[in-house]
Amino acid sequence: MNALVIDDSTAMRLILRGILQDLGFEVSVASDGLEGFEMLPQLAAKLNVILVDWNMPNMDGYAFLRQVRKDKAYRKIPVLMVTSESDIKKIQKAFAVGASEYLMKPFTAEALREKLELVGVLG
């Protein structure tokens, strides 16, 4: 299984990568939405899930998600937003543009596993 993690925090990329590897994923990382989007042509065919932060330089997670959902080649890839935004309006906004699930920071490894189950990439 393959996952792409997009987060501008090095620490967060490490944490997410660690948990995902424990769950059996091969993990690619990008440090903002633009970099992540540019990696998609190479990765998309084998990608099972994308985890994306909201607030990042260059292209934020919201803009990234909109791009992904507009593109026929990427539209079906489950995208999990992993962010410290916990405003109800923000969460609704993310779903309105096609987020598959939404996880608020801080979170535990079990919480991430359960979200991956919910989007159907685990269990």
Q: How far is the CB of 123 from another protein (least distance, A)?
A: 7
CB closer to another protein, 16 vs 40: 16
Contact residues for another protein, defined by CB under 8 A: 86-88, 91-92, 95, 99, 101-104, 106-108, 110-111, 114-115, 117-118, 123
Listed in sequence order, the DSSP H helices in 23-108 are: 33-43, 61-70, 88-96
Q: What is the DSSP letter of 104?
A: E
* Per-residue tokens: 105: 């920071």
CA distance 119 to 123: 10
**CB of residue 37 to another protein, shortest distance in Å:** 23
Task: Give 5 or 40: the residue with its C-beta nearer to another protein.
Answer: 5
